[in-house]
Chain A
Amino acid sequence: MENDRIFSGKKVIKKLDFWKKNENSLLYTKAADNRDPALTAALLSAKGTCKMDYILETRDLVKSYRDRTVVDHVNLHVRRGEIYGFVGPNGAGKSTVMKLVMHLTAPDSGESCLFGEKTGDKNFECFKRIGSIIESPCFYDQISGRENLALHCEYMGYHNHERIDEALALTGLSDTGKKTVAHYSMGMKQRLAIARAILTRPELLILDEPVNALDPGGIREMRDLFRRLNQDYGVTIFLSSHLLSEVEQIADTVGILQNGSLLAETSMRDIRKFQAEYILLETPDTAQASCLLSQSLGITDFDVISETQIGIYDKKASVEVISAALVRDGVTILGIAKNKRSLEDYFFRMTASRNEVNI
């Protein structure tokens, strides 16, 4: 009844036509912000059942090859305007998830949505708004980088060829001339792949290991480029990487994938809370030190990290008090210092807890 009212309203139909013609994402955002609830409902009815809170969303994605499940009920949620870091060890299934999102391979079950629309063989219009690198970058080797980008523009239906120079300059490939891609180094190919992904000013970038094969300088340049695209142009970036330090520096949200399962989807703000300082105690006698910490000093928030290491997370604990107590009780101290936990620690904590559950 409500929808009937909405669709009969001339104003809404007019707006809907405008959206259909322009695929204007801002209108989407405004509608999703509840400034125009009627329009939101109309858009939802018109474009399928996916929520538009997320620019990219997957629901219970499952993919198996023979008897092995490589993607196991993955539910991803990427918000408009954020940088989403998708991390996991090699073989965790990151690339397969990205292929499923881009509908390069069909899921066994579940679905993925881009811009609120379910992806499928017939739903390819949304790819106009996406730039992507999936797995290793591939080019037509017998033509130059510039010609590859021109061809990309033609296939994307993007006619502003002046952007090619801009994209090449942004990725440091301005002076490659007529050199064919066959003669490019791996790093140059990676840069060209990034140039191709950003060329058509997409709203969403899906980048699978985008800094692979780049030198440290190149990694920093590309990180700055992604940040600028995100901050200045509002480009949403969904990137996968096994370089946790890279993701830590750039991402707003992190998704951790292991053995095809999404272990956690956490904002970097929450991870930073986890990243609070702690005391790392190194001693050959962790058992006695643990006893002393809990019984004499009343500290309970600590972990025995390894045979010689204890992490003490109690905010009230001080290095001086602990070291004095240990010395007094004759516990050998190999080292004691304040430390800060990284995304790597968070990642290993998550994956270790999952392994314990599996065991």
Chain B
Amino acid sequence: MTHLIRLELKKIHPWRYLLISAAGILCSMFFVFVALHDSSARTRTYDEAFRTVQMIFAFLFVIFFSVMNAAVIIGEYNHGTIRLMFTYPLDKKKLIAAKLVLITSFMALSILSGYLICGLFILGLGREPGLFARPFTPEVITGQLSAALMSTVVFCCLGLLTFAVGMIKKSVSATIVSAMFFIFLRQLVIASMPEPKENLIIVLAAVCITAAALLRTFARNVTGLD
């Protein structure tokens, strides 16, 4: 599997995706900066600032995940190069799984790096007198750390679900449109919670649904080129 992932890395030009990811994180920092300095806003808390980052990341990374799925996996079906891949003495499902592992690892690392950078940025901004209603305490870190980890898992699950949808008809547009639908669904679920962020139940539900969708996709939609 590691050999296959290494070969995939040779093909996809990872620097291009790293640059897009870095640009996305920079944009998020800018957006947070503007939101925190909005003079019309009421008093702000660290919790709100981090939730803003989560919301931006939900849009940014789930759509980015779907774009990577479209470019790296579904694009191979559309351009016909998958026909070549399937003539190699390798397990076809393993080939696709290697691509998916690579994308998911890349996205998880990007999201976690994004949280780290934006978190440090927010803490840095917190030094500005009067920006936040309450002063910084270590509980802010521990609370946001688990939220960041849980949202990372949920965003990756949503990204994987876009793969499952896109693979039904091997459609790039279906992949990207489904990303928007899943983001909307996530916002809807989060908004209905007493505390508007991911919790263990949401994470477990997302993991179970994604696992089922992936199993179905690998059983039905991966190897056929009809």
Contact = CB atoms under 8 A, between A and B. Distances in A.
Interface stretch (A73-81, A136-144, A224-232): A136-144
B13 A151 contact: no
Contacts of B195: none
Contact of A155 (B83, B88, B91): B88
Interface stretch (B113-121, B180-188, B203-211, B218-226): B218-226
Interface in A122-166: 122, 124-128, 130, 132, 134-136, 138-140, 142-143, 151, 154-157
Interface size class of B (residues with CB under 8 A): 20 to 34
B221 to A, nearest CB: 13
Contact of B81 (A65, A121, A130, A138): A138
Contact of B89 (A99, A139, A142, A156): A156
Contacts of B42: none
Contact of A138 (B83, B90, B92, B93): B83
Max chain A CB contacts within 10 Å: which of B84, B90, B92?
B84
Interface string A98-130: 010011111000000000000001101111101
B224 A134 contact: no
A140 B224 contact: no
Max chain B CB contacts within 10 Å: which of A140, A143, A157?
A140
Contact of A124 (B7, B80, B89, B226): B89
A217 to B, nearest CB: 27
Contacts of B85: 155
A157 B90 CA distance: 10
A104 B225 contact: yes
Interface in B167-226: 223-226
Given A135-B83, A136-B80, A138-B84, A155 B225 contact: no
Contacts of B83: 104, 134-135, 138
B205 to A, nearest CB: 32
Given A155-B7, A155-B90, A99 B81 contact: no
A240 B7 CA distance: 31
B67 to A, nearest CB: 17
A102 B87 contact: yes
B88 A156 contact: yes
A155 B92 CA distance: 12
A135 B88 contact: no
Contacts of B91: 121-122, 124
A65 to B, nearest CB: 7
A268 B81 CA distance: 35
Interface of chain B, helix or strand or loop or mixed?
loop
A105 B81 contact: no
Contacts of B93: 121
Interface residues of A, number: 29
Given A121-B92, A130-B87, A105 B79 contact: no
Nearest to A132: B87
A101 to B, nearest CB: 11
B10 A126 contact: no
Interface in A56-108: 65, 99, 102-106
Contacts of B10: 151, 154
B87 A151 contact: no
Interface string A235-271: 0000000000000000000000000000000000000
B86 interface: yes
Contact of A121 (B7, B87, B223, B225): B223
A124 B86 CA distance: 9
A140 B85 CA distance: 11
A104 B81 contact: no
A103 B92 CA distance: 11
A127 B88 contact: yes
A182 to B, nearest CB: 12
A127 B225 contact: no
Contacts of A156: 88-89
Nearest to B81: A138
A127 B87 contact: yes
Nearest to A102: B87
Max chain A CB contacts within 10 Å: which of B83, B91, B224, B225?
B83
Contact of A125 (B11, B87, B89, B226): B89
Contacts of A104: 83, 86-87, 225
Contact of A105 (B7, B90, B224): B224
A156 B4 CA distance: 11
A151 B79 contact: no
A135 B7 contact: no
A318 B89 CA distance: 59
B193 to A, nearest CB: 43
Given A121-B223, A130-B87, 12 more contacts: A104-B87, A105-B226, A106-B224, A121-B93, A122-B91, A124-B90, A135-B83, A136-B80, A139-B81, A151-B11, A154-B10, A157-B89
18 contacts: A99-B225, A104-B87, A104-B225, A121-B91, A121-B92, A121-B223, A124-B90, A125-B89, A126-B89, A127-B89, A134-B87, A135-B80, A138-B80, A138-B81, A140-B11, A151-B7, A154-B10, A155-B90
Interface of A: 65, 99, 102-106, 121-122, 124-128, 130, 132, 134-136, 138-140, 142-143, 151, 154-157
